[in-house]
């Protein structure tokens, strides 16, 4: 039983002083969504759970100073969350040896199952210090990866139709910044949206301010987003944000053969270039 093993491992790590805090999932009410917990006391490891309600990507907490202040962490990750750790290390935000990674074999989260799980290739974590559980990695139809985006593009085939869709969707945005705060790769200490001398993007939740914000945030994640879809889950007004991120991820894959966080050796796309980059739209 994965949950049992996880609790045992957490107790051991805390008791032996290998880590000071275990970042995992807790679930005080059975059946309700699990949520992030931070266990520092080995006596409290029974708070940890592992089930289909564990959809959060916990790696975002590694950047928060209140968590760093607790000391060396162990973190519970699914195969998809692990991709964040690869990116964070390549971007020099974490030192891998400063984290104890507990990888959970996962056959999918969410009820109904999250769309991203249907084309998951990393049911088994690849880079963890300890792996708990065993699950097969069934072959995946790579074209299914962008199914949600393709559905959107065919449902709204013209620029005018798409623009109308986004005006309606982004019109609802209230600038709560939940998408930014939950994104593990949004870690800038001075975020461009917090700047006001001068202001780069209108902070107002007008169409202009919302378009400016979402275009900028999507583009700042170009070829960095690991498609955990937490931003879409976090949005309180139901905007399908992953459509923007998926279009950039597909661009990165088609133009540069790159998928964020998959190959730890691959060179990052943005910030580098190749003489072999080819385009047909520049005159």
Partner 1 sequence: MSETTEKPAGNGFEPRIIAFVCNWCTYLGADLAGTNRLEYPSNVRIIRLPCTGRIDFNLVVKALEVGADAVIVSGCHPGDCHYTAGNYHARRRWMLFREVLETLGVDLHRIHFAWISAAEGKKWAQFVADVTAQTRELGPYNEYRQIIEAEVS
Partner 2 sequence: MSETITKDALLKLVDEWIGQGKRTIGPTEIKPGHIRYARLEDSAALKLGGYIRPQNSVKEFVFPKHEKLYRYLFEGKEISLAEADGEPAATVVVGSRPCDAAAFDILDRVFNWDFVDEQFNARRRATTIVTIACREWDDYCFCTSVGLGPAAPRGSDVLLMPLDGGAYEVRALTDAGRALFAGHTTPAEVTATEPAGPERKFDMESVGEFLRASWDKPLWRDEALRCLGCGACTYECPTCHCFDIVDEGNARGGYRARNWDACQFRMFTVHASGHNPRPDQPSRQRQRILHKFRIYPDKFGELLCTGCGNCGRACPVGLGVLNVLEAAAKAAVEG
The entry of partner 1, partner 2, none that residue 241 binds, CB within 5 to 8 Å by partner kind: none
Report the sign of the C-alpha dihedral through residues 136, 142, 144, 145, in that order: positive
Helix (H, G, I), strand (E, B) or coil at 213: helix
Residue 162, by phi and psi: left (phi above 0), alpha (psi -120 to 50) or beta? alpha
- Within residues 230-249, the interface with partner 1 by CB under 8 A covers 243-244, 247-248
31 conformational bin, left if phi > 0, alpha if psi -120 to 50, beta if neither: left
Residues linked to residue 74 through DSSP beta bridges, in sequence order: 22, 100
User: CB of residue 176 vs partner 2: minimum separation in angstroms?
Assistant: 4
Q: Residue 43 interacts with partner 2 (CB under 8 A)?
A: no
Task: Measure Cα distances from 219 to 74, 195, 248, 272 in Å.
Answer: 31, 18, 8, 16
Beta strands in 69-218 (DSSP E): 73-77, 100-104, 130-132
**Among 17, 31, 265, 273, which residue sits at the site for partner 1 (rule: CB under 8 A)?**
273
Distance, C-alpha 256 to centroid of its chain: 21
Q: Which of 129, 133, 134, 135 is nearest to 12 (CA)?
A: 129
Q: Which does 276 bind (CB under 5 to 8 A by kind): partner 1, partner 2, none?
A: none
Q: Is 115 in the site for partner 2 (CB under 8 A)?
A: no
Binding string, residues 195-214; x marks residues near partner 2 by CB under 8 A: ----x--xxxxx--x-----
| 64 near partner 2, judged by CB under 8 A | yes
User: End-to-end CA distance of the chain, in Å?
Assistant: 60
Number of residues this chain uses to bind partner 1 (CB under 8 A) = 48
Minimum CB–partner distance for residue 271 and partner 2 (Å): 26
At 283, list the tokens. Answer: 């005159």
- Which residues in 142-161 contact partner 1 (CB under 8 A)? 149, 152-153, 156, 158-161
**Closest separation between CB of residue 154 and partner 1, Å?**
12
The answer to whether 178 contacts partner 2 (rule: CB under 8 A) is yes
**Tokens in use for 75?**
């973190």
Residue 39 phi/psi, 5-degree rounding, is -95, 120
Examine residue 196 and tell whether it contacts partner 1 (CB under 8 A): no
If binding means CB under 8 A, how many residues of this protein chain bind partner 2?
37
| CB 97, min distance to partner 1, A | 32
Interface with partner 2 (CB under 8 A): 29, 32-33, 35-38, 56, 60-61, 64-67, 172, 174-178, 180-182, 194, 199, 202-206, 209, 230, 233-234, 236-238
Interface with partner 1 (CB under 8 A): 149, 152-153, 156, 158-167, 200-201, 206-208, 211-212, 215-216, 218-219, 222-223, 243-244, 247-248, 250-252, 255-256, 269-275, 277, 279, 281-283
């Amino acid at each position: 039983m994965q949950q049992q093993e996880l609790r045992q491992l957490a107790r051991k790590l805390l008791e032996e002083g290998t880590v000071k805090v275990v970042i995992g999932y807790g679930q005080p009410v059975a059946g309700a969504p699990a949520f992030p917990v931070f266990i520092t006391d080995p006596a409290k490891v029974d708070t940890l759970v592992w089930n289909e309600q564990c959809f959060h990507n916990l790696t975002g907490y590694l950047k928060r100073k209140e968590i760093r202040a607790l000391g060396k962490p162990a973190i519970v990750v699914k195969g998809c969350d692990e991709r964040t750790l690869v990116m964070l290390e390549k971007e020099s935000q974490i030192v891998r040896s400063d984290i104890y990674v507990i990888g959970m074999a996962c056959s999918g989260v969410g009820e109904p199952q999250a769309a991203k799980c249907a084309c998951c290739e990393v049911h088994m974590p690849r880079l963890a210090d300890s792996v708990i559980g065993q699950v097969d990695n069934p072959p995946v139809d790579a074209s299914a990866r962008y199914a949600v985006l393709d559905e959107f593009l065919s449902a709204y085939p013209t620029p005018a139709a798409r623009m109308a869709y986004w005006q309606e969707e982004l019109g609802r945005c209230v600038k709560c910044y939940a998408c930014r705060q939950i994104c593990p790769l949004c870690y800038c200490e001075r975020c461009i949206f917090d700047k006001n001398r001068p202001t780069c993007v209108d902070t107002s939740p007008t169409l202009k301010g919302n378009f400016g914000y979402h275009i900028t945030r999507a583009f700042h994640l170009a070829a960095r987003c690991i498609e955990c879809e937490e931003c879409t889950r976090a949005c309180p007004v139901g905007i399908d944000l992953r459509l923007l991120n998926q279009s950039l991820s597909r661009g990165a894959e088609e133009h540069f053969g790159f998928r964020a966080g998959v190959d730890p050796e691959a060179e990052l796309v943005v910030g580098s270039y190749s003489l072999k980059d080819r385009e047909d739209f520049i005159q």
